[in-house]
Chain A
């Protein structure tokens, strides 16, 4: 059995090399700088951290030209600190656990077509930015999309595009239902206009109440809110009733702290606990709210009520154009584990936020593509009852009906994220998905 030891160039301790010789493995050392062509039947033992993700394994297997199921990781860094006997024992046990995989899998890189579809239609800035990045961008008034490999094909013209950028519309609505009488007081003002109206009056004993919905990840708005820290020292009272305070931006933690120190009151509560009514003389707005921790309502009279609008991102109806046999579930790209702007469906991006960042992300996706592992996920047609559970459950939409009669389940390996959800759900156990990692049993890490 041949083993390629993948790690740094440092010399290996005796217990590593001796045990290898004892089990009659021929081995060679391979490093990121020095990769030789390996026999396809080699095992690659990575001497490193305890785990590589499926993606990292795929990357390595592609680089070295081996079956990804032959890549194994030995937690060398942690183990070598232990006494030698223990190291030997763990290493020996690990080598014995290396079994040849049951299936032949080949890792290949797939790159999408360098063309982007904008849906519904891109504005001037977006189109310009794509043009500068030398990525042709197209839009169509009416079309349907089918998936071929990692690309989308725009039907009926059958034009391949590598990525789809969805352009959302921003829907703004007030954070709470505003009673007519409250509006009639003339004391309700938008956040952008607040500095203007404040400039016109004396700040002493003035009460300003802000209502902020959640989520509200718009730094410009929060910047404006934090600058209100200048008001309390001048005698004004500022109360911010927010469902959540957004500090995930550079300098915001500090700004939040300074605002509170200056005397701005922040109360976190669901806006449903806030009720508004006009004061008797119709010159102020009475704000009554029940804090989360106290059962007693708090009442205050605001000279100015600032409503920060709820901005919801509405995506264009992607499921209407996607010719798929499944309901398309599209996640909004707030998931920190996905590429920024990316959705759960590979190649579908949402244009919100910074245009340059979006174009850079799409550009990178079009250049790098993804690694497809041929033969990794197998569907046994004999067992398959065509219940369609896998097709409906796949997070990336990689499962489709294929064949002349559309009576076979096929996995689009270019889109498969190797999560194993289909294999776990299949009621007939028709899907096999081999997990690269081995069970390490009881170990110290």
Chain B
């Protein structure tokens, strides 16, 4: 499984760094890391473009109740759902997931990244 990660500057990327310190073996599986200001700004074209380079893409960001940009996380979640449906319909064997994490809340991210 080759992983690409898009992490928001507030929670997602710091969460990834924190997980990386705890479990350095994740770097063997991660092929690309993209820090972004907010997950809400990541569009479908970017997601699909990155999927050319890896088979699973994680969008990691602030839990919706703490997204500083009101609906950035919610927007990202909806977009990821839409792209997932398109990938399924087109029978493309790649996955996109939205994970909400921060350095104090690594549980879900760990579950997705550490096998």
Contact = CB atoms under 8 A, between A and B. Distances in A.
Is there any pair of Cβ atoms, one from A and one from B, under 8 angstroms apart in the complex? yes
Interface of A: 50-51, 53-54, 329, 331, 334-338, 344, 393, 395-396, 417-421, 423-425, 433, 435, 437, 439-445
B60 interface: no
Contacts of A337: 10, 62, 66-68
A418 B42 CA distance: 13
A419 B61 CA distance: 13
Q: For chain A, what secondary structure do more than half of its interface residues adopt (helix, strand, loop), or is it mixed? A: loop
Interface stretch (B33-41, B80-88, B89-97, B106-114): B33-41
B32 A419 contact: no
Contacts of A50: 13, 17, 35
Contact of A395 (B21, B34, B69): B69
Contact of B70 (A53, A334, A344, A445): A344
A420 B68 contact: no
B30 A442 contact: yes
Interface in B10-36: 10, 13-14, 16-17, 20-21, 24, 27, 30-36
Nearest to A440: B33
A334 B68 CA distance: 11
Given A335-B66, A337-B66, A54 B41 contact: no
B65 interface: yes
B69 A344 contact: yes
A419 B17 contact: no
A419 B65 contact: no
Contacts of B40: 395, 419-421, 424
A337 B63 CA distance: 11
Given A50-B17, A419-B41, A424-B40, A441 B66 contact: no
Given A337-B66, A444-B27, A445-B17, A421 B33 contact: no
B41 A395 contact: no
Nearest to A54: B37
A418 B36 CA distance: 10
19 contacts: A51-B17, A53-B9, A54-B37, A335-B66, A338-B68, A395-B40, A396-B69, A417-B69, A419-B72, A420-B38, A421-B75, A433-B41, A437-B9, A439-B33, A442-B30, A442-B32, A444-B27, A445-B17, A445-B27
Contacts of B31: 442
B27 A53 contact: no
Contacts, number: 99
Interface residues of B, number: 34
A421 B24 contact: no
Contacts of A424: 40-43, 46
A421 B69 contact: yes
Contacts of A344: 68-70
A378 B40 CA distance: 18
A132 B95 CA distance: 57
A54 B72 CA distance: 15
A423 B41 contact: yes
Contacts of A440: 33, 35
Contact of B35 (A51, A329, A331, A393): A51
A419 B43 contact: no
Query: Interface centre among B10, B27, B37, by most A CB within 10 Å?
Result: B37
Nearest to A422: B41
B13 A51 contact: yes
A51 B14 contact: yes
A335 B65 contact: yes
A396 B38 CA distance: 14
A441 B35 CA distance: 10
A395 B70 contact: yes
A395 B10 contact: no
A51 B9 contact: yes
B33 A331 contact: no
A336 B38 contact: no
Contacts of B38: 419-421
For the complex of A and B, list the 5 residue pairs with the smallest distance between their C-beta atoms, beginning with the closest: A420-B41, A395-B70, A424-B43, A419-B38, A337-B68
A445 B20 CA distance: 7
Contacts of A433: 41
A35 B18 CA distance: 31
A419 B37 contact: yes
A187 to B, nearest CB: 37
A341 B34 CA distance: 32
